Amino acid sequence: MLKLSHICKKLGNFALTDININIPAGEYFVLLGRSGSGKTQLLELIAGLNEADSGEIWLDNENITRKKIQDRNIGLVFQDYAIFPNMTVFGNIAYSLHCRNLSRKAIGGKVKIIAEELNISHLLNRFTMNLSGGELQRVALARTLITSPKLLLLDEPLASIDASLKDDIKRTLRQLNRKGLTIVHVTHDYGEAVSLATRVGVIHNGHIIQEGTPDIVFKKPVNKFVARYAGIKNFFRVKFFNENGKWKARCDGNLVFSLAKDNYPEEGLMILRNDAIKIQNGEPYKGNDNHFKGIIKEILPSETGMEVMVDAGEMFYIDISLDDFKKLNISDMSEVWISFPAEAGVVLGGNV
């Protein structure tokens, strides 16, 4: 549906370099990156607000690389919404229809339908200066969707919305996508990618460094940058060796991990997801692949419950639920056992 082929664009000292993306019709694609990574600049190239130095952009098998923005049939919702404060909600939504020679009745009918779909019918006669962030986002969506775009582009759509309203907007975006609308959503927020995306692309310094389903990207990151984006804090510089047909990894501090069968380099960087490690008060079953005794160094609240730092010869960061934390009855300097399966260890391909 949308294809970016070898897109390059120099912007001052920054450049988007050799961007290649294929987004099938009906997909919800989230482009994830930090501020300054190039995600908004890429969105502007797709929309037609800027022009690539080289490469091609295709939409439904049509080359739109040099087409004007008004001829691309792409909807773009800006981060700041770009709502007209001197117009009512109705006026904002209807604005793009006035140049299409539609009758007042036809415009009113279209506005009514889209307002009902986005649950803002009760706002149509209000001016926009007193609307909440969530209401403004819905107005911006309605104004864009009323033109029936082939593709919807969202620039940090949840960045200015209160946390209490984000779930409502996410629900609206999922519903639009389920109805067949193709969406490209750029954000810096890992949680948005996990909760919304069919597929994720991670962009860093103008390059797409990994692409795939959220499950694959965040469980098998290609490098340290992506792993950190997924909230992973357990990184171990290791040397790999085979002992009696079983693969092992020795850390700099001499702790030895058992690994799943695979082909390993001589040395590399191994990661463990924070939630892959279990904590127990007593020694785990000896058949477990990896189990070590350690001392709790720090306990901090986290989004999912509690983060526990355990020194077991190496420092381990472990996420556990509040229920499990209460059952364990642990505190700083408690002696505990940690364990994780051999297949939990992932070897990264780079150190970015």
The SS3 of residue 350 is strand
Separation between Cα atoms, residue 63 and residue 282, nearest integer Å: 63
The CA-based angle 12-16-21, given to 5 degrees, is: 160
**Spatial CA neighbour of 18 closest among 7, 9, 10:** 7
Separation between Cα atoms, residue 151 and residue 77, nearest integer Å: 11
Could you give the residue ranges of the DSSP H alpha helices within the chain?
Answer: 39-47, 89-94, 104-117, 133-145, 163-178, 190-196, 214-219, 224-229, 322-328
Sequential pLDDT tens for the chain (352 residues)? 999 999 999 999 999 999 999 999 999 999 999 999 999 999 999 999 999 999 999 999 999 999 999 999 999 998 888 899 999 999 999 998 887 878 899 999 999 999 999 999 999 999 998 898 899 999 999 999 999 999 999 999 998 888 778 899 999 999 999 999 999 999 999 989 999 999 999 999 999 999 999 999 998 899 999 999 888 999 999 999 999 889 999 998 889 999 998 889 999 999 999 999 999 998 877 666 899 999 999 999 998 899 999 999 999 999 999 999 999 999 999 999 999 999 999 998 654 4
Maximal CA-CA distance, the chain: 81
By CB atoms closer than 10 A (0-12, 13-18, 19+), residue 274 is buried
Structure tokens at 256: 């030895």
**Spatial CA neighbour of 144 closest among 82, 231, 67:** 82
Tell me the whole-structure pTM to 2 decimals: 0.87
Evaluate whether 59 touches 150 at the Cβ level (below 8 Å).
yes
Predicted local confidence at residue 350, as pLDDT:
53
- Domains 2-229 and 234-347 fall in the same CATH topology: no
Q: Write the CA distances from 211 to 77, 133, 217, 226, integer angstroms.
A: 23, 31, 7, 10
CATH-assigned architecture of domain 2-229: 3-Layer(aba) Sandwich (3.40)
Predicted local confidence at residue 80, as pLDDT:
84
Give me the residue spans of the domains in the chain: 2-229, 234-347
Which pairing describes strands 14-23 and 2-11: parallel, antiparallel, or unpaired? antiparallel
Which sign, positive or negative, has the C-alpha torsion 57, 62, 68, 72? negative
Predicted local confidence at residue 67, as pLDDT:
95
Evaluate whether 241 touches 248 at the Cβ level (below 8 Å).
yes
**Spatial CA neighbour of 30 closest among 177, 134, 154, 163:** 154
Predicted local confidence at residue 333, as pLDDT:
96
Evaluate whether 129 touches 153 at the Cβ level (below 8 Å).
no
Structure tokens at 117: 């779909």
Predicted local confidence at residue 287, as pLDDT:
65
Evaluate whether 7 touches 45 at the Cβ level (below 8 Å).
yes
The CA-based angle 88-92-97, given to 5 degrees, is: 130
The 3-state secondary structure of 63-89 reads ECCCCCHHHCCEEEECCCCCCCCCCEH
Separation between Cα atoms, residue 58 and residue 143, nearest integer Å: 24
Domain spanning 234-347, CATH class: mainly beta
Predicted local confidence at residue 165, as pLDDT:
84
